Structure 1
Amino acid sequence: MRKDIHPNYQEVLFHDTNADVFFLTRSTVKTKSTREYEGSEYPYYPLDVSSASHPFYTGEQRKTSTEGRVASFNKRFGAFGGRKKAADTDAAE
C-alpha cells in the first residue's frame, strides 16, 4: 500500500439532534469538535436526520395536504396580486 493517500479512518460520535440519539461508529469524516462519550473523547459530528428520526424507519406518518399546491399558493398569496377576495367582492355588491 502507498503511504499518505488514505483518509484517516477513526471512531466518530454522530449525534442525531432531532431524536437526541448518539451513534459511535468508524468514519473518515473530518470534524472540528470533540465530545466525551462513555468515558472517552471522540470526534463529534451532529446530524439532522438519521435512522432514529427518519419517518421511513420510525413508522411515523406525516400529515399530507389534501389541497393542491396551486390552491395552497392562492390561499396564501392571492390577495397580493391585486385581486379582491371573494368575501370582499360579495360585500361590495
Structure 2
Amino acid sequence: MKPGIHPVTRPVVFRDRAAGFTLLTRSTLDATQTVEWEDGNTYPVVDVEISSASHPFHTGTARVLDTAGRVERFERRYGPTGGVRR
C-alpha cells in the first residue's frame, strides 16, 4: 500500500443509548467524548441513534404494510391489467 494516504484507524466505542448497546471496534472517526471500557482502558465514544440492537428490522418490530388493499384499489382504478391494453 502507498504510505501516507490512508486514514489512521483507532479503537472506538459505538454506543446506542436507546438500546443500551455498546460495541468496541476500529474506526477512522474522531470523537471528543471518552468512555472507560470493560478492560479498564479509555476509548473515544461515538453515540449513534440506531444500531442492530434497536433497528426495527433486526428486532422484529417492523410493521408490515397492507399491500393487498393497495393492489385491489389499483385494480379498481385502472382495471386488472393496470391500464395496459393488449
Q: TM-score band, normalised by the shorter chain?
A: 0.5 to 0.7
Q: Secondary structure at the match of 2:24?
A: strand
Higher helix fraction: Structure 1 or Structure 2? Answer: 1
Distance 1:42 1:24 in 2: 9
Q: Compare CA radii of gyration and give the structure with the larger one.
A: 1
Query: Residue deviations 1:17-68, cap 9 Å, x none?
Result: 110111011111111111111111111100000101000001013497xxxx
Give the aligned CA root-mean-square deviation in angstroms: 1.9
Aligned to 1:9: 9
Say how many residue pairs are matched: 64
Partner residue of 1:59? 60
Q: Secondary structure at the match of 1:45?
A: strand
Percent same amino acid at aligned positions? 45
Per-residue displacement from partner, 1:57-91 (whole Å, max 9, x unpaired)?
01013497xxxxxxxxxxxxxxxxxxxxxxxxxxx
**AA at the equivalent of 2:22:** F
Q: Does 2:35 match 1:35?
A: yes
3-state SS, counterpart of residue 4 of structure 1: coil
Determine helix, strand or coil for the equivalent of 1:56: helix
CA separation of 1:63/1:20 partners in 2, compared to 1, >3 Å: closer, same or farther?
Answer: farther
Residue 2 of structure 1: CA displacement?
3.9
| TM-score normalised by L of structure 2 | 0.65
Q: What residue number does 1:49 align with?
A: 50
Residue identity matched to 1:60: T
Following TM superposition, the consecutive aligned residue runs of length 4 or more in structure 1 with deviations greater than 6 angstroms are none
Task: Give unmatched runs, 5+ long, in structure 1.
Answer: 65-93
